[in-house]
Chain A
């Protein structure tokens, strides 16, 4: 009986003036007059005297209680310190000014006089600019400000392009081996000219029995060999890209047009890595060994420069051939699926079993309807009543 009595007490029909038969409890609560506490808060919000002041008045019993106006703090520590510093600094300034001429005093006099004739500004026009004009960001860029990254700006993701990078690096390192030049010098030229790249691309690599890099390169023609040797002598000696390009243009005419050119889309856009070449022509470079630490370092440096991927140290240690390096980067690019459904869909063990069905999505009642053939009937009925399109 108690709850119903309580509810009767809270009847709002008198408040609303309407004779509603049933009012839900929430609405009833809403319609009740505000509790006293809330009203006090409302009144306090509009009152001028703060609560601390009113408490003090209550304690002392008078409207003007003795003591501090604000007994709960007053000036803060920082505030006090700031106030102390202010006169000290002013003192320093005045000392400096003592050594200056009396002009300053006269100036201050004038200031005082001006202060009397002070007129507040209404717009910014004519006001002196405050602040530093020549900041470093406003200065024109100097020579040292320019930054060119060691690696390519865009990371290579496709497997064919990774192979291209590895192939180019392998050919270049082999050339440097042949020329007895410092191996890492190849990194000085980040991106070759298109014609040079084409020659490098046409070079094949046939690793010898003892895994020598120096005899591995097979050139497409004599002219190409001469051109490449000349270019890389230049690179090895002192970088002179302009000269290299000239010779390359000469060599290009000598190189006959192969059928591979058809595959290459003639795009002059510089953003496309490897000038639109998709994949390497031969896979011989993949079995090149990385036994020699110097060769390994040079190759991986050039490879990471061309592909845009760093190789962590533990991985570098375990790499034995060029192919493994390419494989590692490729697998790092395509990690294992995170979703279990993807994993199960690819797993051999479950795919061969006819009695297992793996769903990628949550099974809803609608799926069961479709499986039982009920869905089309339901849809037809809904459609006939105009409830769905």
Chain B
């Protein structure tokens, strides 16, 4: 057989065809009694319906957690979790935190040094010393 095929797996390019939001689930925990949950309760009452409607691709779970500070917990497609404690925050601040979790990729935060990362080959190619005009010393 002159040529064999090598089995491979295609790589996902999220956003090239379809975009899959990386945040798949948000858990909202609150306490009915404690004062640190006051903003959270107001958020759940007033802001959550519009937030959930704007993000139908996120599964949203609301459950009480008595005698604890209010927490938003994000679950991501890469299997990681991110939790933000929102004690004593105002509903607007909690909305910002929820947005933060929604837009996160789930990866650990790291500094990006290169402006662009790509899996495509460079168009220009790698410089070769053996091609082009030969420079003589």
Across the interface, do A359 and B63 meet the contact criterion of CB distance under 8 Å?
Answer: yes
**Within A317-351, which residues are at the interface with B (CB < 8 Å)?**
338-341, 343-344, 347, 349-350
Give the distance in Å from the alpha carbon of A357 to the alpha carbon of B53 in the complex.
13
**Within B25-45, which residues are at the interface with A (CB < 8 Å)?**
30, 32, 41, 44-45
**Within A345-375, which residues are at the interface with B (CB < 8 Å)?**
347, 349-350, 353-363
Beyond A339-B32, A340-B32, A350-B52, is A356–B62 a contact (Cβ under 8 Å)?
Answer: yes
Across the interface, do B32 and A355 meet the contact criterion of CB distance under 8 Å?
Answer: no
Determine chain B's interface SS by DSSP, over half rule: mixed
Query: Which single member of A340, A354, A357 contacts B45 (CB below 8 Å)?
Result: A340
Beyond A347-B49, A349-B49, is A341–B64 a contact (Cβ under 8 Å)?
Answer: yes
Across the interface, do B58 and A358 meet the contact criterion of CB distance under 8 Å?
Answer: no
Across the interface, do A340 and B56 meet the contact criterion of CB distance under 8 Å?
Answer: no
- Chain B window 69-85, contacts with chain A (Cβ cutoff 8 Å), 1 for yes, 0 for no: 00000000000000000
Across the interface, do A355 and B52 meet the contact criterion of CB distance under 8 Å?
Answer: yes
Determine chain A's interface SS by DSSP, over half rule: loop
> For the side of the interface on A, what is the size category?
20 to 34
Across the interface, do B45 and A344 meet the contact criterion of CB distance under 8 Å?
Answer: yes
In the bound complex, residues from chain A placing their C-beta under 8 Å from that of B44 are 340, 344
Across the interface, do B60 and A355 meet the contact criterion of CB distance under 8 Å?
Answer: yes
In the bound complex, residues from chain B placing their C-beta under 8 Å from that of A341 are 32, 62, 64
Across the interface, do B64 and A362 meet the contact criterion of CB distance under 8 Å?
Answer: yes
Across the interface, do A344 and B62 meet the contact criterion of CB distance under 8 Å?
Answer: yes
Beyond A340-B32, A340-B41, is A356–B48 a contact (Cβ under 8 Å)?
Answer: yes
Across the interface, do A355 and B64 meet the contact criterion of CB distance under 8 Å?
Answer: no
B107 an interface residue at 8 Å Cβ cutoff? no
Chain B nearest CB, measured from A349 CB (Å) = 3
Beyond A350-B52, A361-B64, is A355–B45 a contact (Cβ under 8 Å)?
Answer: no
In the bound complex, residues from chain B placing their C-beta under 8 Å from that of A358 are 61-63
Beyond A356-B60, A357-B59, is A350–B48 a contact (Cβ under 8 Å)?
Answer: yes
Across the interface, do A357 and B49 meet the contact criterion of CB distance under 8 Å?
Answer: no
Give the distance in Å from the alpha carbon of A320 to the alpha carbon of B62 in the complex.
41
Across the interface, do A355 and B58 meet the contact criterion of CB distance under 8 Å?
Answer: yes
Across the interface, do A361 and B62 meet the contact criterion of CB distance under 8 Å?
Answer: no
In the bound complex, residues from chain B placing their C-beta under 8 Å from that of A350 are 48-49, 52
Query: Which single member of A338, A339, A355 contacts B59 (CB below 8 Å)?
Result: A355
Chain A nearest CB, measured from B53 CB (Å) = 6
B65 an interface residue at 8 Å Cβ cutoff? yes
Give the distance in Å from the alpha carbon of A356 to the alpha carbon of B44 in the complex.
11
In the bound complex, residues from chain A placing their C-beta under 8 Å from that of B45 are 340, 343-344, 347
Beyond A339-B32, A340-B41, A340-B44, is A361–B49 a contact (Cβ under 8 Å)?
Answer: no
Give the distance in Å from the alpha carbon of A362 to the alpha carbon of B31 in the complex.
10
Chain B nearest CB, measured from A367 CB (Å) = 9
Nearest chain-B residue to A354 (Cβ)?
A: B56
Give the distance in Å from the alpha carbon of A339 to the alpha carbon of B66 in the complex.
12
In the bound complex, residues from chain B placing their C-beta under 8 Å from that of A349 are 48-50, 53
Query: Which single member of B41, B52, B66 contacts A362 (CB below 8 Å)?
Result: B66
In the bound complex, residues from chain A placing their C-beta under 8 Å from that of B52 are 350, 353, 355-356
In the bound complex, residues from chain A placing their C-beta under 8 Å from that of B61 are 356-359, 363
In the bound complex, residues from chain A placing their C-beta under 8 Å from that of B55 are 355
Across the interface, do B60 and A362 meet the contact criterion of CB distance under 8 Å?
Answer: no
Give the distance in Å from the alpha carbon of A339 to the alpha carbon of B63 in the complex.
12
Nearest chain-B residue to A350 (Cβ)?
A: B49
Give the distance in Å from the alpha carbon of A339 to the alpha carbon of B32 in the complex.
6
Chain B nearest CB, measured from A286 CB (Å) = 32
Across the interface, do B62 and A357 meet the contact criterion of CB distance under 8 Å?
Answer: yes
Chain A nearest CB, measured from B40 CB (Å) = 9
Nearest chain-A residue to B61 (Cβ)?
A: A357
Give the distance in Å from the alpha carbon of A361 to the alpha carbon of B66 in the complex.
9
Nearest chain-B residue to A359 (Cβ)?
A: B63
6 cross-chain pairs, A with B, having the tightest CB-CB distances, nearest first: A349-B49, A359-B63, A356-B60, A358-B62, A363-B63, A356-B52
6 further A-B contacts with Cβ under 8 Å, apart from A347-B49, A359-B61, A359-B62, are A341-B64, A344-B62, A354-B56, A356-B52, A357-B61, A361-B63
- A-B contacts, 7 listed (Cβ < 8 Å): A340-B41, A353-B52, A353-B60, A355-B58, A355-B60, A357-B60, A362-B65
